[in-house]
């Protein structure tokens, strides 16, 4: 697996590169947005770690340009603490995930592994799992070909689960990917929404395997 790191802070870039190499991943570094874009658009990477504030092209511009050229390499955006707008802009521009600086290397590695496990067919606009489909453009969700009526929040939650199939996701992971920083989250919010989803995705299809699983004390998993 080969990773491109686009980050103008040499210290951060080099320590990520060193860490990845210790994990037997190949890593290239670009210290400017322009170099990053050139490498990303000409070389074949499995993943791009992209800082947003860069000399030359910024991270958002790079994301947009790559996606408009149909380059679907997974992009993990690095954002400064508290810059919620950056995170949203990054995801809107076509990034797949984000990580707030400063971060622990283990966390970065976990995100990289999760992104690289994503099956290639999941990079399009329709996510599939078993007989469940979710269209990220039209917001249509179906099971066994039947259209399901989900609220906006239920949809986001299901989308997040479908992007990480067969993985146990903690409540904190779910909250940070599905809810914004300023929403009111109660301790049982995730449980409640998981319950709503089950009621729409599993309960009406008793003959099909249940897809949403609770792992007490750990989190939730989409699986068979």
Residue ranges binding Ca ion (CB under 5 A): 8, 51, 53
| Spatial CA neighbour of 79 closest among 103, 55, 47, 45 | 103
Select 25 or 78, whichever has its Cβ closest to Ca ion.
Answer: 78
- Mark residue 109 as left, alpha or beta (left: phi above 0; alpha: psi -120 to 50; beta: remaining): alpha
- Long-range (24+ apart) CB contacts under 8 A made by 215-219 are 215/168, 218/168, 218/170, 219/168, 219/169, 219/170, 219/171, 219/173, 219/174
Tell me which residue of 80, 97, 79 sits closest to 160, measured CA to CA: 97
Beta carbon of residue 37, minimum distance to Ca ion (angstroms, whole number): 15
Least Å distance between CB 118 and Ca ion?
A: 26
Complex with Ca ion: residue 51 or 86, whichever CB lies closer: 51
The minimum distance between CB 221 and Ca ion, in angstroms, equals: 35
Residue (14 or 168) nearer to Ca ion, CB: 14
> Shortest distance, CB of residue 22 to Ca ion, whole angstroms?
23
> Which of 163, 179, 161 has its CA nearest to residue 219?
161
Q: Which residue is nearest to Ca ion (CB)?
A: 53
Helix (H, G, I), strand (E, B) or coil at 79: strand
Q: Residue 78 or residue 211: which is nearer to Ca ion going by CB? A: 78
Q: How far is the CB of 33 from Ca ion (least distance, A)?
A: 9
CB atoms within 10 A of CB 72: 13
Query: Whose Cβ is closer to Ca ion: residue 6's or residue 222's?
Result: 6
């Amino acid at each position: 697996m080969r990773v491109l790191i686009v980050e103008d802070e040499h210290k951060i870039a080099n320590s990520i590169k060193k860490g990845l190499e210790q994990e037997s991943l190949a890593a290239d570094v670009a210290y400017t947005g322009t170099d990053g874009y050139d490498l990303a658009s000409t070389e074949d990477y499995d993943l791009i770690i992209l800082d947003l504030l860069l000399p030359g092209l910024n991270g958002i511009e790079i994301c947009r340009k790559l996606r408009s050229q149909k380059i679907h390499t997974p992009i993990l955006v690095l954002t400064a603490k508290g810059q919620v707008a950056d995170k949203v802009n990054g995801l809107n521009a076509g990034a797949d995930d984000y990580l707030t600086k400063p971060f622990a290397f283990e966390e970065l590695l976990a995100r990289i592994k999760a992104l690289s496990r994503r099956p290639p067919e999941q990079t399009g606009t329709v996510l599939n799992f078993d007989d469940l489909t979710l269209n990220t453009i039209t917001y249509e969700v179906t099971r066994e070909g039947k259209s399901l009526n989900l609220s906006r929040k239920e949809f986001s939650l299901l989308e997040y689960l479908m992007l990480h199939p067969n993985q146990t996701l903690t409540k904190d992971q779910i909250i940070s990917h599905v809810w914004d920083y300023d929403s009111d989250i109660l301790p049982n919010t995730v449980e409640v929404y998981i319950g709503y989803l089950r009621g729409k995705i599993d309960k009406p299809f008793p003959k099909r395997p249940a897809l949403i699983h609770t792992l007490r004390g750990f989190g939730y998993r989409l699986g068979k």
